[in-house]
A and B are shown apart, each in its own frame.
Chain A
Amino acid sequence: MLSCSCTGPGMAPAVSCYFLVVLLSASCEVVTSSDQMCIEKKTNKIYNCENLDLSEVPDTLPNTTEFLEFSFNSLPTIQNTTFRRLINLIFLDLTRCQINWIHENAFQSHPQLSTLVLTGNPLIFVAETALSGPESLKHLFLTQTGLFSLEFIPAHNLKNLESLYLGGNYISSMKFPKDFPTRNLKVLDFQNNAIHYLSREDMDSLRATTNLSLNFNGNDIKGIEPGAFKSMVFQSLKFGGTVNLSVIFSGLHNSTIQSLWLGTFEDTEDQDLSSSMLEGLCEMSVESMNLQKHHFSDLSSATFQCFTHLQELDLTATHLQKLPSGLKDMHSLKKLVLNVNKFNQLCQINADSFPSLTHLYLKGNVIKLQLGAGCLEKLENLQTLDLSHNDIEASDCCNLQLKNLSHLQSLNLSYNEPLGLRNEAFKACPRLELLDLAFTHLHVNAPQGPFQNLHLLQVLNLSHCFLDTSNQHLLAGLENLRHLNLQGNHFQDGNIPKTNLFQMVGSLEILVLSSCDLFSIDREAFHGLGNIVHVDLSHNNLTSDSINALSQFKGTYLNLATNSIRIIPPHLLPTLSQQNIINLSHNPLDCTCSNVHFLTWYKENVQKLEDFKETRCAYPPSLQGVQLSDVTLSCGITAVSIFFLTVFLFLLAALLLYTVKFFLRWKYQHL
């Protein structure tokens, strides 16, 4: 504990100054808690003991611990005594603990253990009964543990296993031992092993599973026995980085796969994809397919002849300059991803081929993309369109460009070059619910209202758009807008005046005005915003005067972090009290008696405060950097002080009386 003196409020006349200081002998306290070794994330339940070089479970951990992150410690041997005390363990992460041995009955006393992470341990031997004990062990991570064979894993007590991670080992055959219970498996991960061949027998051990996700990324599969996957059903299959895709396609004959990932990588050698290699797709049922980073050797309508039943196709970074025109039978395609390609103009995707498309993603185009006119007009069912990060530039956007997209609900035009918007700029897509224009410079001439007629729009992101915020019609017509982000835009003189653009959006629930260089907000600026539940005013230069503008908000999340708030006078405290959660971190808060009302309020409401560890004093210098919650000021007058004050006043009165008496006597004597 620490006590120190504190300056009194106001300037006292010199004579009584010393006296007052004695009287108002305020004290403040700092309580520091001793550093614990493990970090407590949730009392008695969740602990993090990572990177502590521990060789045993510390005594400070309570017996009730349920989640224990114990990675990067040192436990060469695990036996039944190692974790015996923590009988309630549900999750145990032992990543890179240099474990060599897991002895018999190591987890015998942990009936609730559901997840065991052993990633990166140089396992020499795991005893037959090492994993017995848990009544329902569901997730087992054996990534990079030096496994050569699946026989190494003690199969005893794995009947409830749902996910098994075996990546980064030396496994060359995925054949499970006979008694290995695979029935409940949902996730089976063989990434980065040495599996080159999949036989019928290998796959037979997985026939009992349903909706399995199987990951063979980073195994160069060179052969699959015909019929190995016959009539099997998978949630997802991944063969990422496989050089010869025709092996995969012919091997998967007669299988049903919801999601097939066949992409490649920057560092993987690649073979050009030809139409003939993709023919195998006709003999299987795939809903969604990813071919990222491949090269097509002879892109034509023949390339897509077996894509007829596909619903989702991802061609991210496949070096495309155009898609062939006149593709037939792509009527089922609902979602198309063409990110990071080399289209010159939007019309080059030949959108007419995909009349059922509901989702189109074309972001991060390598070269500047021209939107053209009406390039997507045949996509009548389109609901989601992402055209972000494309260097798109248009002086008059977006009715011609988005012609006929009357069902569009979500449009992303963020991170583009300047766009000029006029009145009713999005008339072509009246059903928009979400519009993202973040970091795209917008030219809007006042008093035009580009968002008029977007009656269904709920979310509008205009962060860093360099808007003219004095245009009061900017947000006209957005009667259902719930979420508005204006981060990084500037207001004239750093002030939000009484009449402003928010008067048009009375249904607003979430308002973000962070990093807007605000110095003040008029006390009536937010009148009419009755539904607000979340206000972010962080990273501005606001002082406590601006809290007046928030007096009508109730039960909101209020972020005032990183502003210039120093003293919050008592009359503003009710406004804070009526909010739900408040963030006042990183403000130059005053911890002297001049702010005592707020400091008292803070202590009583600490459960409302977010980020309270970063809410610190800036004044006086002696308390700089101390958390507000650790400061106790007593600025009141104590009983002893009252006694002394009374005596002082009494003496003063006596002195005065005596002086008067003396003066009068002196005066009469000289009459």
Chain B
Amino acid sequence: MTRFTTTLLVWTLISPGSGGPAADTAWPTHTACRNEGLEVLYQSCDPLQDFGFSVDQCSKQLKPNLRIRLGIILREDIKELYLDISLISKGASVLNYSYPICEVDLPKFSFCGRKKGEQVYYAGPVNNPGFDIFKGEYQILLELYNEKRATVACANVTVICS
């Protein structure tokens, strides 16, 4: 084989993006809420699909037990469902947190146990603690996944507090 073909082959093998799936389709950025100097934007980071999400009250003094609305198609069973939250501020990781939403011995929400392919619409409380949000811009990565570590939903959230 000639040196040229070799180079070409090596290049196709290692050049980023060329061998993988076509350029990532970025989902549009949505507004989860905007009010009183607080703005919450999110974008789905699941390459397969977008989802709908909104928060009922939006204020710098975050109230406990917020009500949210969420609409999504499940691509996995959610007998077990976990949420990972990582908070990034000014490029530094501030907080990493993992929370079980559905477990076999404690299905906290009525949607626990739904099957792959089901469409879920949830409007209800999320059992969060209340706290004040300080001025600044925050990046939050939210990831929902099941017991097989298969992604159920993924969101890049930007919180702008002015």
Report the nearest B residue to A71, measured CB to CB. B117
A317–B100 CA distance with the chains assembled, in angstroms: 14
A141–B112 CA distance with the chains assembled, in angstroms: 18
Indicate if the CB atoms of B13 and A217 lie closer than 8 Å.
Answer: no
Q: Does A179 contact B (CB under 8 A)?
A: no
B110 contacts which chain A residues (CB < 8 A)?
Answer: 217-218, 240-241, 265, 267-268
A143–B48 CA distance with the chains assembled, in angstroms: 22
Report the nearest B residue to A268, measured CB to CB. B110
User: Main secondary structure on chain A at its contact with chain B?
Assistant: loop
Q: Does B95 contact A (CB under 8 A)?
A: no
- Evaluate whether A32 and B13 lie within 8 angstroms (CB atoms) in the complex, with A2-B6, A120-B117 already known: yes
Q: Does B79 contact A (CB under 8 A)?
A: no
A30–B9 CA distance with the chains assembled, in angstroms: 10
B110 to chain A, nearest CB (A): 4
Residue in A72, A143, A266 whose beta carbon sits within 8 Å of that of B108 in the complex: A266
Indicate if the CB atoms of A71 and B119 lie closer than 8 Å.
Answer: no
B133 to chain A, nearest CB (A): 23
Q: Does B116 contact A (CB under 8 A)?
A: yes
Interface centre among B14, B117, B127 (most CB of A within 10 A): B117
Indicate if the CB atoms of B106 and A317 lie closer than 8 Å.
Answer: yes
Q: Does A4 contact B (CB under 8 A)?
A: yes
A35 to chain B, nearest CB (A): 9
Residue in A72, A191, A292 whose beta carbon sits within 8 Å of that of B75 in the complex: A72
Report the nearest B residue to A3, measured CB to CB. B1
Indicate if the CB atoms of A141 and B113 lie closer than 8 Å.
Answer: no
Q: Does A565 contact B (CB under 8 A)?
A: no
B46 to chain A, nearest CB (A): 11
Q: Does B24 contact A (CB under 8 A)?
A: no
Indicate if the CB atoms of B10 and A337 lie closer than 8 Å.
Answer: no
Indicate if the CB atoms of B118 and A168 lie closer than 8 Å.
Answer: yes
Q: Does B124 contact A (CB under 8 A)?
A: yes
Indicate if the CB atoms of A266 and B124 lie closer than 8 Å.
Answer: yes
Indicate if the CB atoms of B107 and A96 lie closer than 8 Å.
Answer: no
A240–B107 CA distance with the chains assembled, in angstroms: 10
Residues of chain A in range 307-327 having any CB-CB distance to chain B below 8 Å = 314, 316-317
A2–B108 CA distance with the chains assembled, in angstroms: 55
Indicate if the CB atoms of B125 and A119 lie closer than 8 Å.
Answer: no
Indicate if the CB atoms of A95 and B116 lie closer than 8 Å.
Answer: yes
Interface string of A97-139 (1 = CB under 8 A from B): 0000000000000000000010110000000000000000000
A119–B1 CA distance with the chains assembled, in angstroms: 52
Q: Does A165 contact B (CB under 8 A)?
A: yes
Residues of chain A in range 656-671 having any CB-CB distance to chain B below 8 Å = none
B1 contacts which chain A residues (CB < 8 A)?
Answer: 1-3
- Evaluate whether A265 and B10 lie within 8 angstroms (CB atoms) in the complex, with A119-B115, A141-B115, A143-B117 already known: no
A341 to chain B, nearest CB (A): 12
Q: Does A383 contact B (CB under 8 A)?
A: no
Indicate if the CB atoms of B109 and A265 lie closer than 8 Å.
Answer: yes
Residue in B13, B106, B124, B125 whose beta carbon sits within 8 Å of that of A30 in the complex: B13
Q: Give the number of residue pairs across the A-B interface with Cβ within 8 Å.
A: 83
B2 to chain A, nearest CB (A): 10
Indicate if the CB atoms of A96 and B106 lie closer than 8 Å.
Answer: no
- The size of the chain B interface, using a CB distance under 8 A, is 27
Indicate if the CB atoms of A217 and B113 lie closer than 8 Å.
Answer: yes
B116 contacts which chain A residues (CB < 8 A)?
Answer: 71, 95, 119
Indicate if the CB atoms of A267 and B109 lie closer than 8 Å.
Answer: yes
B112 contacts which chain A residues (CB < 8 A)?
Answer: 265
Indicate if the CB atoms of B117 and A144 lie closer than 8 Å.
Answer: yes
A292–B108 CA distance with the chains assembled, in angstroms: 9
Report the nearest A residue to B100, measured CB to CB. A364
A71 contacts which chain B residues (CB < 8 A)?
Answer: 116-117
A622 contacts which chain B residues (CB < 8 A)?
Answer: 10
A120 contacts which chain B residues (CB < 8 A)?
Answer: 73, 117-119
Residue in A2, A3, A266 whose beta carbon sits within 8 Å of that of B109 in the complex: A266
A625 contacts which chain B residues (CB < 8 A)?
Answer: 14
Residues of chain A in range 209-264 having any CB-CB distance to chain B below 8 Å = 217-218, 240-241, 263
User: Main secondary structure on chain B at its contact with chain A?
Assistant: loop
Q: Does B132 contact A (CB under 8 A)?
A: no
Residue in B106, B118, B125 whose beta carbon sits within 8 Å of that of A267 in the complex: B125
Q: Does B105 contact A (CB under 8 A)?
A: yes
Range of interface residues on A (Cβ < 8 Å) = 35 or more
Residue in A4, A117, A337 whose beta carbon sits within 8 Å of that of B105 in the complex: A337
A32–B14 CA distance with the chains assembled, in angstroms: 13
Interface string of B86-126 (1 = CB under 8 A from A): 00000000000000000001111110111111110010110
Residues of chain A in range 1-32 having any CB-CB distance to chain B below 8 Å = 1-4, 30, 32
Report the nearest A residue to B67, measured CB to CB. A267
Report the nearest B residue to A141, measured CB to CB. B115
A144–B117 CA distance with the chains assembled, in angstroms: 8
A328–B122 CA distance with the chains assembled, in angstroms: 43
A189 to chain B, nearest CB (A): 9
A652–B19 CA distance with the chains assembled, in angstroms: 51
A218–B107 CA distance with the chains assembled, in angstroms: 13
Indicate if the CB atoms of B118 and A144 lie closer than 8 Å.
Answer: yes
Residue in A96, A141, A267 whose beta carbon sits within 8 Å of that of B124 in the complex: A267
A167 contacts which chain B residues (CB < 8 A)?
Answer: 114-115, 118
Q: Does A414 contact B (CB under 8 A)?
A: no
Q: Does A174 contact B (CB under 8 A)?
A: no
Residue in B13, B107, B109, B118 whose beta carbon sits within 8 Å of that of A143 in the complex: B118
Indicate if the CB atoms of B127 and A143 lie closer than 8 Å.
Answer: no
A1 contacts which chain B residues (CB < 8 A)?
Answer: 1
A6 to chain B, nearest CB (A): 13
Q: Does A340 contact B (CB under 8 A)?
A: yes
A540 to chain B, nearest CB (A): 23
Interface centre among B10, B14, B116 (most CB of A within 10 A): B116
A141–B114 CA distance with the chains assembled, in angstroms: 12
A117 contacts which chain B residues (CB < 8 A)?
Answer: 117
Residues of chain A in range 323-346 having any CB-CB distance to chain B below 8 Å = 337, 339-340
Report the nearest B residue to A314, measured CB to CB. B105
A604–B14 CA distance with the chains assembled, in angstroms: 27
A96 contacts which chain B residues (CB < 8 A)?
Answer: 73, 117
Indicate if the CB atoms of A316 and B117 lie closer than 8 Å.
Answer: no
A340–B114 CA distance with the chains assembled, in angstroms: 23
Q: Does A297 contact B (CB under 8 A)?
A: no
Report the nearest B residue to A238, measured CB to CB. B113
Report the nearest B residue to A624, measured CB to CB. B14
B105 contacts which chain A residues (CB < 8 A)?
Answer: 314, 316, 337, 339
A119 contacts which chain B residues (CB < 8 A)?
Answer: 115-118
Interface string of A351-380 (1 = CB under 8 A from B): 000000000000000000000000000000
B119 contacts which chain A residues (CB < 8 A)?
Answer: 120, 144, 168
- Evaluate whether A265 and B106 lie within 8 angstroms (CB atoms) in the complex, with A51-B48, A120-B118, A144-B118 already known: no
- Evaluate whether A2 and B10 lie within 8 angstroms (CB atoms) in the complex, with A265-B109, A266-B109 already known: yes
A-B contact list, 17 entries, CB within 8 Å: A2-B6, A3-B1, A51-B48, A95-B116, A95-B117, A119-B115, A120-B117, A144-B118, A218-B110, A240-B110, A265-B109, A266-B127, A267-B109, A267-B110, A267-B125, A314-B105, A317-B106
Give the top 3 A-B pairs by smallest Cβ distance, nearest first.
A95-B117, A267-B124, A120-B117
Known contacts A3-B1, A71-B117, A144-B118; 16 additional CB pairs below 8 A are A51-B75, A96-B73, A119-B117, A119-B118, A143-B115, A143-B118, A144-B117, A167-B114, A168-B119, A263-B107, A265-B107, A265-B108, A267-B110, A314-B105, A316-B106, A317-B108
